[in-house]
Amino acid sequence: MSKKNVIPNQAVIEYKSGTAYSAHHKPTGEHWLLLGINPKTDRVCAAGWPPSIASLSHCINIEELRPLTAEELRYREDKFGTDWL
């Protein structure tokens, strides 16, 4: 399953279910590993500590990395629930 997201001044991204992405989170200035994206709710969940949920619209330079590992999928479901691509 994939979803398209359009952010002004950025390329159209087609998000894929079960895929890890990298992104620059503008408010913190940090580079994040995204474990999940929900374009409908404008949310992302990021790996690391503390577990973080942020606005997708606050992320730039989003790039597809690789499929999520089984461990990452378990972590995402445990910390953030199941409503993610």
Maximum separation of any 2 CA atoms in the chain, in Å? 34
pTM metric for this prediction: 0.83
Contact 85, 14 (CB under 8 A): no
For 41-74, write each residue's pLDDT tens digit: 999 999 988 989 999 999 999 999 999 999 999 9
Contact residues for 32 (Cβ-Cβ < 8 A; gap 6+):
22, 23, 24, 25, 44, 46, 47, 48, 52, 59
